[in-house]
């Protein structure tokens, strides 16, 4: 690691309280968790990519069904 990054790590309160290794373990855990979240978000976006029109059609059908039921219920 370069000296600037090491200095920033050493000046962090967690490093002073728990040590450099604990800080690095914590940072790696956070990084891996964020990376996994980005991967999941990418997969979700890919799954719905190009499906906007189909989803909109489905919502319009559902809203139309509810509107028709509301009209019948008012009669």
pLDDT digit string (tens) for 8-17? 999 999 999 9
**15-72 pLDDT tens trace:** 999 999 999 999 999 999 999 999 999 988 887 777 777 888 888 888 876 555 555 5
Number of folded domains that form the chain: 1
| Stronger pLDDT, 68 or 2, i.e. the higher one | 2
Is residue 20 within 8 Å of residue 9, measured between CB atoms?
yes
Q: Which domain holds residue 10?
A: 3-74
Inter-residue contact 18 to 9 (CB < 8 Å): no
Global confidence as pTM: 0.58
Task: Taking the CA atoms of 68, 70, 65 and 63 in sequence, report the sign of the dihedral they define.
Answer: positive
pLDDT computed for residue 22 by the predictor: 95
Largest CA distance in the chain: 78
């Amino acid at each position: 690691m370069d000296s600037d990054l090491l200095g920033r790590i050493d000046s962090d309160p967690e490093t002073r309280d728990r040590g450099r290794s604990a800080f690095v373990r914590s940072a790696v855990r956070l990084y891996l968790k964020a990376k996994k979240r980005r991967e999941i978000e990418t997969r979700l976006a890919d799954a719905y990519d190009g499906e906007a029109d189909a989803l909109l059609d489905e919502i319009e059908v559902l809203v139309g069904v509810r509107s028709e039921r509301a009209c019948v219920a008012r009669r």
